[in-house]
């Protein structure tokens, strides 16, 4: 049976700043999706990570189905009206357009989808990140699908020996999707050369090489500033990973995320802090909006989802979070100096643009002739959405 898994997530308003959605707003999104089960949808699960509401839906209509995307869009629109009525901060923040245009891509919400022939024992993980960008998944997915130091199945499982194919997107290319397809392990160094730049190159999908029609991963790749032309918040990406058998095992995703790799985002979307694995329905951290990621493990049969396993909630992850918190505290001690703050090319608040333009006019060359010096100009303009 061919099943489509659609995961769509958006920040439509939160309590007291960028923290978490109100119970009433979350209930509206949940009710709207539940109402579609048994007709448009087979099954669905609704939760939040930080201030983002995440809709995980199964159906048989394929990727980019306009009805499924409109369902998510309307759920977010209805939730936004409630958020406005409650005076929540950033109400409708991720809804960047007024009208639905066939799917949510390009409208603001993060979206990852995958269509596949369901296995008898289909197992998958849904990742939801907050306060960061799509490139936050680059290192964990590289380690899980290409590095036997972290993913022993690449050595121990015959079904993984052929490796995987990485589809990598240039997310800053504005004239259509620019994608390169590279096989691992043969092109491992080329893959690494691209994925190290998490602001420019992002994993879009990963595919099995032993079974080329089998997709392993789908990642949301939209960058909100490329849609809006200004800073409106971080991209807060979602991802879907199929696990077990011809894919890495569920537990082989643990060590890559336990690293707490430094990623872009945090307060005002302008800093680097470690990515903290958290249980679902966790509020965004008041410690500088440290980036966070949750992971739900599902079994699925005929499109019906099991009760999820909260994969970052078992006792081991308490120790990981303590270590990630220590890394975050040390990085924040560096204040506004790089790499604690992002390079000029990625800064997303316009106040510093104005400041640099003023300073540029004050530069002189040593022979006394005034000449504006080219000072790095960050992307974006003045905004009022700090995370």
Domain boundaries of the chain, sorted by first residue: 2-332
The pLDDT of residue 258 is: 98
pLDDT band at 135 (very low <50, low <70, confident <90, very high): very high
Higher pLDDT, 344 or 228: 344
- Give the per-residue pLDDT at 383: 45
- Structure tokens of 91? 């109400």
Instruction: Please state the rounded mean pLDDT for residues 340-349.
Output: 77
pLDDT of 378 > 50? The answer is no
Q: What angle do CA 267, 294, 313 make, to 5 degrees?
A: 120
Q: Read off the tokens for 195.
A: 């994925």
pLDDT at 376 over 60: no
Cis peptide before 209 (omega within 30 of 0): no
Q: Is pLDDT of 261 > 60?
A: yes
Q: Are 293 and 49 in contact (CB under 8 A)?
A: yes
Whole-structure pTM value: 0.90
Distance set, CA 57 to CA 252, 279, 343 (Å): 25, 20, 37
pLDDT band at 248 (very low <50, low <70, confident <90, very high): very high
* pLDDT grade for 370, boundaries at 50, 70 and 90: low
Rounded to an integer, what is the distance from CA 271 to the centroid of its chain? 16
Q: Show which residues are catalytic.
A: 11, 231, 234
> Span 218-242, mean pLDDT?
71
**What average pLDDT does this structure show over 331-345?**
89
pLDDT at 234: 56
Cβ(281)–Cβ(266) below 8 Å: no
């Amino acid at each position: 049976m061919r099943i489509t898994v659609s995961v769509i997530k958006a920040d439509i308003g939160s309590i007291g700043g960028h923290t978490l959605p109100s119970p009433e707003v979350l209930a509206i999104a949940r009710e709207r999706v539940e109402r579609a089960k048994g007709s448009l949808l087979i099954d669905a699960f609704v939760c939040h990570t930080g201030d983002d509401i995440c809709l995980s839906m199964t159906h048989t209509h394929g990727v980019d189905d306009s009805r499924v995307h409109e369902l998510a869009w309307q759920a977010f629109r209805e939730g936004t009206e409630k958020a406005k009525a409650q005076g929540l901060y950033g109400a409708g923040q991720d809804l960047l357009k007024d009208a639905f245009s066939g799917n949510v891509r390009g409208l603001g919400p993060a979206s990852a989808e995958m269509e596949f022939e369901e296995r008898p024992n289909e197992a998958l993980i849904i990742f939801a990140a907050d306060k960061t960008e799509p490139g936050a998944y680059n290192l964990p997915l590289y380690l899980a699908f290409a590095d036997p130091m972290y993913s022993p199945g690449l050595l121990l499982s015959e079904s993984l020996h052929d490796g995987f194919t990485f589809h990598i997107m240039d997310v800053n290319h504005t004239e259509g999707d620019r994608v390169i397809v590279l096989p691992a392990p043969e092109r491992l160094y080329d893959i690494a050369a691209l994925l190290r730049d998490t602001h420019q190159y992002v994993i879009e999908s990963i595919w099995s090489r032993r079974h080329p029609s089998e997709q392993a991963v789908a990642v949301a790749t939209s960058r909100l500033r490329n849609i809006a032309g200004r800073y409106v918040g971080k991209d807060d990406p979602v991802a879907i990973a199929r696990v077990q058998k011809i894919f890495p095992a569920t537990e082989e995703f643990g060590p890559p995320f336990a690293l707490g790799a430094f990623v872009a985002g945090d307060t005002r979307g302008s800093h680097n802090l470690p990515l903290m694995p958290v249980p679902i329905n966790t509020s965004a951290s008041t410690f500088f909006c440290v980036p966070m990621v949750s992971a739900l493990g599902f079994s699925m049969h005929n499109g019906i989802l099991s009760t999820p396993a909260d994969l970052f909630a078992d006792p081991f992850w308490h120790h990981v979070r303590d270590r990630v918190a220590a890394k975050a505290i040390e990085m924040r001690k560096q204040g506004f100096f790089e790499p604690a703050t992002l390079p000029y090319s990625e800064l997303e608040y316009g106040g510093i643009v104005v400041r640099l333009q003023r300073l540029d006019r004050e530069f002189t060359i040593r022979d006394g002739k005034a000449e504006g010096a080219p000072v790095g100009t960050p992307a974006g303009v003045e905004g009022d959405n700090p995370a």
